[in-house]
Chains A and B, each alone.
Chain A
């Protein structure tokens, strides 16, 4: 047996995320005692109509969210208990709504910082209706082996360690949430565990006090003794003492009170829970409470540390008198399924990875590129080209190579608004498209005819050099197998109107003490092709390609240099149009050669 919460308790939780977290803890307990989840509904207007997914064992249970308590109890008429996790400013309204529902008999409020007057009104309303209002600031209620309301009891391992899967003989009532767990633990180690433990909340005027619960415990035959953990302030402990001393009680009462330190503190200094305030005339001190309990015949250990032995002694007496028997522990208990992460940590499962990476790792406090922490790279003077080297070719390139890459990027960053990429981005920007999509529109243009020839140019120049081909053999090979040579030829530039970018890059690279077989070969090719036709010059794609192959970059990465560099320009064009607030553009008719058939009659549909 137990009080307040048992196997027939069906719960609605009022509130959002905090309520969902509580439901998860409650599901862990239900799983431990092999009962279906006792949470049937949530009430949280912002999420009404949705469901909250609560893990139960290795599965998930979808619990519906309703707009109001009435709606929840209409769909789930078994609901008899509500847990309130609503903010302090709306808690009273929520609590009243639950109390006023005819299905609901117990309302437990977890919310902290509820105005005292609201708490009193809720308590008074519940008493008038003959219902129970527990809290505010309650950590919850737990009946061993049958029902958990709220997060009381803590993590799954603690539920097991504290033997909450089966009934004991001790009732527990505390103001403090943290201490409720401690007492449950002590009862399980020094005695046979608990029947029900209740957190009544640390406020000055909890909705239900010790006396009401002591009365319930007195009427619960399974409960043989009750532990109350008090605090200075108010008179709840004195009232409990008065109740206990009023007549012969079946249950034994064990009580501790905190706040003795107050006697040696500077005057007026008070701390602890909201309710832990000494009264005006010295009433409510730890000493007066503790004395009252002693006088009423309760067992009052001198310190918290002596509580365990006192509980043990009480338990031994109960055993001796035959009122309780040694509990029988179940042979096997369900174990909470571990998450994949936990199981892997414990070396219990092996998971085949879905992807494999060889370039970077972000699992620490900062990303590492090919193993090098980004901050260290920065602080040791490395620059963007080095990061490119690490992520594209997994090597730390030299200062000289970095300089070449930097120059390539600077030369290729933009080429005015008229080229396909920039034009596409501008067109998109004028249509009001966002940055990433507009830049992507420009990117889409990069291909065999615009900017996308770097990789192919590099591949074929390298092929020729690797196979020691002569220029004539190479041109013949290309003509036969592939067509025009990528990296050769320009739409507007020619021998007479050379591409300054190419001159610049070639001049710089040739001034360095490095071997450039591909570039040399490409320049030889240009001599032959440009002699045939004026504009068949080595273009910027071809030059970049040859140089990059010469400094060892893999063929597949070569287009990346153009894509990366040109992204700078494309972003610039988008921002430029945006700042000008450019209007939508459409082609003028005169820019179109309408070569479609003249207007004609549509034949009947056959």
Chain B
């Protein structure tokens, strides 16, 4: 799943005929001031300014300002740009027109195993979250399109009536078209409001999750996907991502500040069991990492260097199940090179390394790891006869 920020998310909705407020995304207060001269609506309407970053609780952080005139918006932008929140620096602000409205509604489309579900409620904002039973659903099989009658029934079930029911049905239909054509996995508009000026339904806020795997057929996805965990990617994380995008197989790396147990396991499945084992043993994860699909040794070496550079680590878990086709000797060769490099840079002092693995050329790979002992590494190597996560138990025994 790939999260998309509000700006490009609203862009996609607009593309499929959903009414959205007028908005601009700016990187400086000057830019906004100039845009204000060029755009009538910015002078006439009340404005909202929000930090355009993958940040949660922006309201609490003072990164959402409402009811502004243009000067107020410029001032708010000036204040927000450059603000540091954790590892994120605010670099963009989205300024949109405020839509005067009375009622708020809710509409979403989500992916399900069979296809998708269209969700509609005749309440919105925070109200819908505490009244989840008022959300009505229309279930669709993959490849199936909703009928106008079906959508209208959905709107009526949700408590809409008359002309508004028809409008809501149309709005939900457009949401589905956008969802279906843009390979979305989740689209949510909360709130949907009736614009007092013309009675149109307008999407005030958008949550957009797209299927990153479908990027190849969407040349107009010219925006970057946002990190999903409320912070920006670190330099090391981005370096590993850059390697990952270039190679056969994969390497993954996410830092978890404050941990003392570093992870360097193989496989998307086994890596999570290893993480579970660390947590179950009372350990603190310093990172998540994973390599799989027989990646080249140099990519594993880069990953290893990043893992070895994590601050304050006491153990490194080089775990892995019995590989199907990942060459153990070759990938371990990359890890060994990474270890040597880290050691020559003065890292890995008082760090214990724990290895468990099986698969093609396991004996050669494990022997090479064992030989690191002679180079002064504190390394413990186990083969397939030691159950998968036992090395975590051994590593964290004294906790």
A residues contacting B by CB (< 8 A) are 21, 25, 88-89, 112-117, 120-121, 123-124, 139-140, 151-155, 158, 161, 174-182, 185-186, 202, 204-205, 209, 229, 231-232, 234-236, 256, 258-261, 263-274, 276-277, 280-281, 286, 302-305, 308
In the complex, are the beta carbons of B269 and A176 less than 8 A apart? yes
**Known contacts being A89-B217, A269-B254, A271-B288, is A202 close to B230, with CB within 8 Å?**
no
Q: Which residue of chain B has the shortest Cβ distance to A236 in the bound complex? A: B113
Query: Is residue B96 contacting chain A, with contact meaning CB distance below 8 A?
Result: no
**Known contacts being A264-B279, A266-B229, is A176 close to B268, with CB within 8 Å?**
yes
A95 CB, min distance to chain B CBs, angstroms: 14
Cα A180 to Cα B321 in complex, Å, equals 9
Cα A152 to Cα B254 in complex, Å, equals 28
A-B contact pairs, 17 of them (CB 8 A): A25-B325, A152-B324, A154-B323, A176-B268, A178-B268, A178-B292, A178-B320, A181-B359, A182-B270, A182-B358, A259-B272, A260-B280, A261-B276, A264-B279, A269-B229, A271-B271, A302-B280
B11 CB, min distance to chain A CBs, angstroms: 21
Please indicate the chain A residues that have their CB under 8 angstroms from the CB of B278 in the complex: 261
**Contact-residue bracket for chain B:** 35 or more
Query: Is residue B304 contacting chain A, with contact meaning CB distance below 8 A?
Result: no
Query: Is residue B223 contacting chain A, with contact meaning CB distance below 8 A?
Result: no
Please indicate the chain A residues that have their CB under 8 angstroms from the CB of B367 in the complex: none
Cα A117 to Cα B142 in complex, Å, equals 7
8 Å CB contacts to A: which residues of B277-315?
Answer: 277-280, 285, 288, 290, 292-293
In the complex, are the beta carbons of A304 and B277 less than 8 A apart? yes
In the complex, are the beta carbons of B141 and A124 less than 8 A apart? yes
B132 CB, min distance to chain A CBs, angstroms: 8
In the complex, are the beta carbons of B285 and A205 less than 8 A apart? no
Partner of B359, one of A155, A175, A260, A269: A155
B115 CB, min distance to chain A CBs, angstroms: 6
Please indicate the chain A residues that have their CB under 8 angstroms from the CB of B47 in the complex: none
In the complex, are the beta carbons of B293 and A303 less than 8 A apart? no
Please indicate the chain A residues that have their CB under 8 angstroms from the CB of B375 in the complex: none
B residues contacting A by CB (< 8 A) are 1, 56, 110-111, 113-115, 132, 141-143, 180, 183, 185-186, 211, 213-214, 216-217, 228-230, 252, 254, 256, 266-273, 275-280, 285, 288, 290, 292-293, 320-326, 358-361, 384, 387-390, 393
Please indicate the chain B residues that have their CB under 8 angstroms from the CB of A269 in the complex: 229, 254, 256, 288
In the complex, are the beta carbons of B214 and A115 less than 8 A apart? yes
A276 CB, min distance to chain B CBs, angstroms: 7
**Known contacts being A112-B293, A124-B142, A174-B269, is A270 close to B276, with CB within 8 Å?**
no
Cα A305 to Cα B217 in complex, Å, equals 43
In the complex, are the beta carbons of A115 and B183 less than 8 A apart? yes
Please indicate the chain A residues that have their CB under 8 angstroms from the CB of B280 in the complex: 260, 302-303
In the complex, are the beta carbons of B269 and A258 less than 8 A apart? yes
B275 CB, min distance to chain A CBs, angstroms: 4
B184 CB, min distance to chain A CBs, angstroms: 9
Interface core residue of A116, A123, A274 (most chain B CB under 10 Å) = A116
In the complex, are the beta carbons of B267 and A265 less than 8 A apart? no
Cα A88 to Cα B279 in complex, Å, equals 35
In the complex, are the beta carbons of B322 and A185 less than 8 A apart? yes
Please indicate the chain B residues that have their CB under 8 angstroms from the CB of A89 in the complex: 216-217
In the complex, are the beta carbons of A305 and B113 less than 8 A apart? no
In the complex, are the beta carbons of A175 and B269 less than 8 A apart? yes
In the complex, are the beta carbons of A261 and B272 less than 8 A apart? yes
Q: Which residue of chain B has the shortest Cβ distance to A271 in the bound complex? A: B288
A343 CB, min distance to chain B CBs, angstroms: 16
Cα A88 to Cα B214 in complex, Å, equals 9
Please indicate the chain B residues that have their CB under 8 angstroms from the CB of A280 in the complex: 110, 186
**Sample of 9 further A-B pairs with CB below 8 A, known A121-B143, A269-B229:** A116-B183, A116-B214, A154-B324, A161-B384, A175-B269, A181-B359, A182-B321, A267-B229, A286-B276
In the complex, are the beta carbons of B324 and A181 less than 8 A apart? yes
Please indicate the chain B residues that have their CB under 8 angstroms from the CB of A140 in the complex: 324
A191 CB, min distance to chain B CBs, angstroms: 14
Cα A263 to Cα B269 in complex, Å, equals 17
Cα A394 to Cα B321 in complex, Å, equals 51
Interface core residue of B110, B217, B269, B320 (most chain A CB under 10 Å) = B269
Partner of A268, one of B56, B111, B271, B321: B56
Interface core residue of A113, A178, A209, A280 (most chain B CB under 10 Å) = A178
In the complex, are the beta carbons of B254 and A303 less than 8 A apart? no
In the complex, are the beta carbons of B268 and A304 less than 8 A apart? no
Cα A427 to Cα B142 in complex, Å, equals 70
**Known contacts being A121-B142, A154-B324, A155-B359, is A115 close to B211, with CB within 8 Å?**
yes
Cα A227 to Cα B172 in complex, Å, equals 42
Partner of A116, one of B213, B228, B279, B323: B213
**Known contacts being A154-B324, A176-B268, is A303 close to B277, with CB within 8 Å?**
yes
Interface core residue of A114, A179, A186, A236 (most chain B CB under 10 Å) = A179
In the complex, are the beta carbons of A260 and B279 less than 8 A apart? yes
In the complex, are the beta carbons of A113 and B213 less than 8 A apart? yes
**Known contacts being A185-B358, A261-B279, A272-B269, is A177 close to B388, with CB within 8 Å?**
no
In the complex, are the beta carbons of A179 and B214 less than 8 A apart? no
Please indicate the chain B residues that have their CB under 8 angstroms from the CB of A272 in the complex: 268-269, 271-272, 290
B113 CB, min distance to chain A CBs, angstroms: 5
Cα A174 to Cα B389 in complex, Å, equals 17
A203 CB, min distance to chain B CBs, angstroms: 9
**Known contacts being A88-B216, A115-B214, A120-B115, is A179 close to B267, with CB within 8 Å?**
yes
Cα A120 to Cα B143 in complex, Å, equals 9
In the complex, are the beta carbons of B111 and A229 less than 8 A apart? no
Please indicate the chain A residues that have their CB under 8 angstroms from the CB of B325 in the complex: 21, 25, 151, 154
In the complex, are the beta carbons of B324 and A153 less than 8 A apart? yes
Please indicate the chain B residues that have their CB under 8 angstroms from the CB of A265 in the complex: 256, 285
B232 CB, min distance to chain A CBs, angstroms: 13
In the complex, are the beta carbons of A234 and B277 less than 8 A apart? no
Please indicate the chain B residues that have their CB under 8 angstroms from the CB of A232 in the complex: 272
Cα A202 to Cα B1 in complex, Å, equals 13
Please indicate the chain A residues that have their CB under 8 angstroms from the CB of B389 in the complex: 303-305
A81 CB, min distance to chain B CBs, angstroms: 19
Q: Which residue of chain B has the shortest Cβ distance to A206 in the bound complex? A: B113
In the complex, are the beta carbons of A177 and B324 less than 8 A apart? yes
A273 CB, min distance to chain B CBs, angstroms: 4
Interface core residue of B114, B273, B293 (most chain A CB under 10 Å) = B273
**Known contacts being A182-B270, A268-B229, is A154 close to B213, with CB within 8 Å?**
no
